[in-house]
Amino acid sequence: QSVLTQPPSVSAAPGEKVTISCSGTNSNIGSGYVSWYQQFPGTAPRLVIYDRNRRPSGIPGRFSASKSGTSGTLAITGLETEDEADYYCASWDRRLSVVVFGGGTKLTVL
Amino acid sequence: QVQLVESGGRVVQPGYSLTLSCVVSGSTTTLYSIHWVRQAPGRGLEWVAHVSFDGSPPNYSESVRGRFTVSRDKTNSALQMSALRLEDSAVYYCVRALGTILGSTGFDHWGQGTPVTVSS
């Protein structure tokens, strides 16, 4: 069981907006940063959001994130079929001195 | 362009030891921590261990503490795995994070992963 809680799956049609939640505690998300990762089958994950709401070069502006208290949210607007992937959140847990990941959310673009 | 390349993964029997290596190239700074993250077949990401650049003690997940040892030189890292179990089978990724832990910049560069299979 993962320390950060994500929905196992979400789905939406092309062009629509989808959000993925990541619930943690005061010792991880609540006192630090949450970052988001995208993973296609058979490939390594890649960073899509860091530092509250910044995107690495090459990540489209359709990706954004927010944080409120002990939860973070990834939002993808104007969904494209190429966004279909698994998404993970991660944070440093200052009480446990470990990195904690969410269990991952499979995004299906219908 | 920053690149991380893992090597050393193979098939081993339970109880055996194995060492993975991670070579980091193209980085303009050495002020980063190196993390190891694994993914069992069909499962999610699991953080394993990390080592910083400042000499602070490494950190380990509860599932590997006492069996795995992570080390690094100025740029590269090694993960020594002993007393391997069936549940250690996974693709092991070497990952970079600027700073001493996982901070605001996230895991900004990942290796391609090296597979470890523990099987009798």
> With pLDDT > 90 as the criterion, what percentage of chain A qualifies?
95
- Annotate A20-47 with b (16+ C-beta within 10 A) or e (fewer): bbbbbbebbbbebbbbbbbbeeeebbbb
> Are the Cβ atoms of B107 and A47 closer than 8 angstroms?
yes
Q: B-contacting residues of A 66-95, CB under 8 Å?
A: 86, 88, 90-92
Give residue-wise pLDDT tens across range B94-120. 999 988 888 888 999 999 999 999 999
Give residue-wise pLDDT tens across range A15-29. 999 999 999 999 999
Cα distances (angstroms) measured from residue B91 to each of A92, B24, B115: 22, 18, 4
Cα distance between residue A3 and residue B25, in whole Å? 32
Which DSSP state fits A17?
Answer: -
Give residue-wise pLDDT tens across range B15-45. 999 999 999 999 888 888 999 999 999 999 9
> Are the Cβ atoms of B110 and A100 closer than 8 angstroms?
no
Give residue-wise pLDDT tens across range B42-95. 999 999 999 998 888 999 999 999 999 999 988 899 999 999 999 999 999 999
Which structure tokens are listed for B97?
């994070």
- For residue B16, give how far its alpha carbon lies from the nearest alpha carbon of chain A (Å): 26
On whether any CB of chain A is under 8 Å from the CB of B4, the answer is no
Contact residues, chain B, for A92 at CB < 8 Å = 101-103
Q: What are phi and psi of A51, to 5 degrees?
A: 50, 60
Q: What are phi and psi of B86, to 5 degrees?
A: -55, -40
On whether any CB of chain A is under 8 Å from the CB of B104, the answer is yes
A1: pLDDT strictly greater than 80: no
Cα distance between residue B27 and residue B3, in whole Å? 8
So what's the pLDDT on residue B98? 87
Question: CB pairs below 8 Å between A and B: how many?
Answer: 71
CB-CB: which of A88, A90, A102 is closest to B102? A90
On whether any CB of chain B is under 8 Å from the CB of A4, the answer is no
- For residue B62, give how far its alpha carbon lies from the nearest alpha carbon of chain A (Å): 9
